[in-house]
Chains A and B, each alone.
Chain A
Amino acid sequence: MDENGKVTGEMPKLTNDEIKELYKKMVTIRVYDDKTMKIQRQGRVGPYISYLGQEACQVGIAASLRKDDWFFPTYRDSGALYARGMPLKDVLLYWMGDARGFANAGNNFPICIPVGTHPPHAAGAAFAAKIKGKDYVSLATFGDGATSRGDFYEAMNFAGVFNLPVIFVVQNNQWAISVPRSRQTASQTIAQKAISAGIDGVVADGNDIFSVIKAIRYAADKARSGKGATVIELLTYRLGDHSSADDQKKYREQAEVETWKKKEPVERLKKYMLSKGLWSEKFEQDITAEATQAAEKAITDAENIPSQKLDELFENIFSEMTPNLKEELEELKEAYKDRSTESTNKVEKIEGSFP
């Protein structure tokens, strides 16, 4: 599909209803993202990372996986988690600095914060599938910057050596904070790095949901049938700041941003649907209203969750609390015996806080 929503290659197999559902998901996660950014600005969420402009990657990845497939996301992939069925409230809890967000997340690993450290985990979960004779696949996604880390190369290498059912999806959004893609690697594509590991590398248009789905289905089918790992480079663009603490105007040409705006994924799918008679004003209004309502409810729910008990801060460190921890918990309780143990959502602005 080109910028105008005109199909240029072979379409993946999708019914009209499925296409409408994909569009609905993309609009929905955009609404969620926008709402979260808004309450972030009001100090109701801490540092937040938006996926604006990468909705086709987010939804396309989720839509091409089975529920029992393993998913290893980064901080940029809240949208994919929603699309994988994780409740907005839970993901919001994570961004509100609450440890309980990922307690019921199925086969979704918690968001990876140290960049590029999770590709080996995906390879490991794939290794487990192989040894246990299961047919799930394992997918890790990360950015262009992450591909500069050794962890990525090592994970590809293991995936090649052991012929693992794993997919490495690089959302190449052209920037790693202020560092452009050209500064990450001198190689022509990121996908070609797969060659050195003896596995398959594919480049796809990450702003075209059909292209994303085709690529991931291809890799998932291949993995499930024992034919090994794939690196998929999705060409996309981060339309917003790196994070709520970043100012992208400091380091990139706004003309570049404008160029990419014209290629953004939601509008593109809409144009396609218009041409096929699948889109209407009313449809748009309905799905937007539904998403807005869901977002508002999730925000209220997340904000009204009861505080964790002090005990909980010492749980889940080990399978059982160690003597040190027990002693420290008592010490903390003593220190708070005359003070409130409520934790607040409100993020006060502190001078010298996160960039």
Chain B
Amino acid sequence: MHMVAAINSALDNEMQRDKNVVLLGEDVGVNGGVFRVTDGLFKKYGADRVVDTPLAELSIVGLSIGMAAAGLKPVAEIQFSGFTYASFEQLVSHAARIRYRSGGKFTCPMVLRSPCGGGIHALELHSESNEAIYSHMPGLKVVIPSGPYEAKGLLISAIRSKDPVLFFEPMKLYRAFREEVPETPYEIPLGKANLGKEGKDVTIISWSTMYHVSMLAAKKMEEENGVSCEVIDLRTINPIDTDTIINSVKKTGRVVIVHEGPRNAGMGAEISAQITEKAMLSLHAPPIRVTGYDTPYPFYKTEKFYLPDIEKVIIGINKAMNF
């Protein structure tokens, strides 16, 4: 299955298992979603459980909060992660805080799914990587899968989670490759990174599309320069799996963090701080960041200059190696 089919299968499994799981969003019903992620579900589960909403992101999330508090399991879709901003106040001031504010009485077990990331020649605001913004807000879990198998297991865990989860889906990977994915449900725990590849000399930490770029750069460095790279796919951006990161860095002593979103106050900064606080004495070089720049995501003609690529990651690895 490719990632679109894997996510569809996760939604199908969970809707089958739990009558309270309800999908809502723009074009998710009759049309099956603009990326066809919810294809067939409207027909199978009906208009009460797969809801085409008016065009209003704020209310898609706002209503999900009320639905979740009242016992449903809303899985809301915002058509692109660049359009989640209208729902920002609902997420931050309410979804993230209701458990805290009500002394645990009310909770918000909702999932917000949204396609993210660039490299697809899209229009403005259709290529955002805004996971850092939401990771900064206490009370929201943030997940980004890097492949079909992960996507299904992580989404099922997100739906079963007792907390609000933002589940970002890298558009570039939607149909990029296929993996063996079971038809039956399975969970991949939130908050656990995946060690994609073991190595001795340097740890590369990344996620989403950049995980694949990092893997390619790692292979190249190994084959051409004999540098042994360990590659971690973070998978859950908040909370970060610090144990996996620190264990790896203690072993390698060098680290490169690769992400697509802007650098300033991005996830690389947080990961780098955790490493310097917890593994300072193991480090042979400062943590290196290879990231998107502190500009808006560019118009697509120039997006290739913005995105971290194999060459940029290799420059980063060399910086760490030759410090």
Contacts and interface: CB of A to CB of B under 8 A. Distances in A.
Are these two chains actual partners, yes or no?
A: yes
Interface of A: 46-47, 75, 96-99, 113-117, 145-146, 148-151, 176-179, 183-185, 245-246, 250-251, 308, 310, 313-314, 317, 322, 324-325, 328, 332, 334-336, 339, 341, 343-345, 347-348, 350-355
A350 B119 contact: yes
B301 A344 contact: yes
Given A115-B55, A335-B311, A352 B123 contact: no
Interface stretch (B7-15, B252-260, B292-300): B292-300
B295 A176 contact: no
B301 A148 contact: no
Interface in B250-303: 263-264, 293-296, 298-303
B49 interface: no
Contacts of B175: 351-352
A324 B264 contact: yes
A97 B301 contact: yes
A343 B301 contact: yes
B52 A99 contact: no
Contact of A332 (B3, B58, B305): B305
Nearest to A312: B302
A98 B56 contact: no
Nearest to B177: A351
A328 B293 contact: yes
A46 B121 contact: yes
A50 to B, nearest CB: 14
B137 interface: no
Interface residues of B, number: 54
A178 B31 contact: yes
The 4 closest A-B pairs by CB, nearest first: A178-B31, A97-B300, A352-B175, A148-B54
B171 interface: yes
A251 B3 CA distance: 24
Contact of A150 (B56, B120, B293): B56
Given A97-B300, A97-B301, 13 more contacts: A145-B54, A149-B58, A151-B86, A178-B27, A179-B54, A328-B263, A343-B304, A343-B305, A352-B172, A352-B174, A352-B175, A353-B172, A355-B36
B83 A46 contact: no
Given A177-B27, A178-B27, A324-B263, A341 B305 contact: yes
B55 A145 contact: yes
B150 to A, nearest CB: 16
A354 B121 contact: yes
A176 B26 contact: yes
A346 to B, nearest CB: 10
A353 B120 contact: yes
B134 to A, nearest CB: 17
Interface string B112-129: 000000011111111000
Interface string B123-143: 111100000000000000000
A324 B304 CA distance: 20
B295 A317 contact: yes
